[in-house]
Chains A and B, each alone.
Chain A
């Protein structure tokens, strides 16, 4: 069966999250993705979309979300256009062994993406930032 790639662009605003979830759930239903991986998909999409919105503050264009099912995984690609490089894969995870007061507020979202994903890559070319994440469809790999 040919692989279908679902692609849509969303205004760079946090208030777009419900529409992004609706898009992801439509994809999951039509592509037969089960509830567990769909929950992980929501989490990863939210963390990466909000990361682009917050870190690429000079960005003017809509953010592109691409979803594809194949090879026992869901492949996500987020693209942000005409922006400076910002590599979220380099964001350090919070030190969870420190007392709460000593832990930094940031980094938990990207830490979650690392925990949920099979692969997590970033690239920047010709002003386009792209994040590629692979989520396993195998049971037990997701919250």
Chain B
């Protein structure tokens, strides 16, 4: 199961498993996010390349419109997936 909660302050909370079977729904949910966004990844258990692409496209869109994306609270196994794909150097991960 995967879930995105949109906070009233525009920030996000991601939980569960962001795999290819949930990627399209995630893209639809994230369409309306804008500005400077903090995504809390503490409850994110799994992410694949399909999920990484969702995050990457959100980062690009926010960055292009003058905003930004910060990813916080990642557990080590999620962080390693970003490291293996070289995106830890590109994305703002805290």
Contact = CB atoms under 8 A, between A and B. Distances in A.
Contacts of B90: 100
A65 B59 CA distance: 34
Interface in A96-142: 96, 100-101, 105, 108-109, 111-112, 115-116
Contacts of B89: 96
Main SS at interface, chain A: helix
A143 interface: yes
A36 interface: yes
Interface in B61-94: 76-78, 80-81, 84-86, 89-90
B20 A42 contact: no
A18 B46 CA distance: 12
A115 B86 CA distance: 12
Contacts of B80: 143
A126 B19 CA distance: 32
A50 B50 contact: yes
Nearest to B57: A105
Interface string B52-63: 110010011000
A43 interface: yes
A111 B85 CA distance: 7
Contacts, number: 60
Contacts of A112: 48-49, 81, 84-85
Contacts of A39: 46, 77
B46 A42 contact: yes
Nearest to B64: A101
A46 B81 CA distance: 14
Given A14-B20, A17-B19, A108-B85, A36 B77 contact: yes
Interface of A: 14-18, 21, 36, 39, 42-43, 46-47, 50, 94, 96, 100-101, 105, 108-109, 111-112, 115-116, 143
Interface of B: 17, 19-21, 46, 48-50, 52-53, 56, 59-60, 76-78, 80-81, 84-86, 89-90
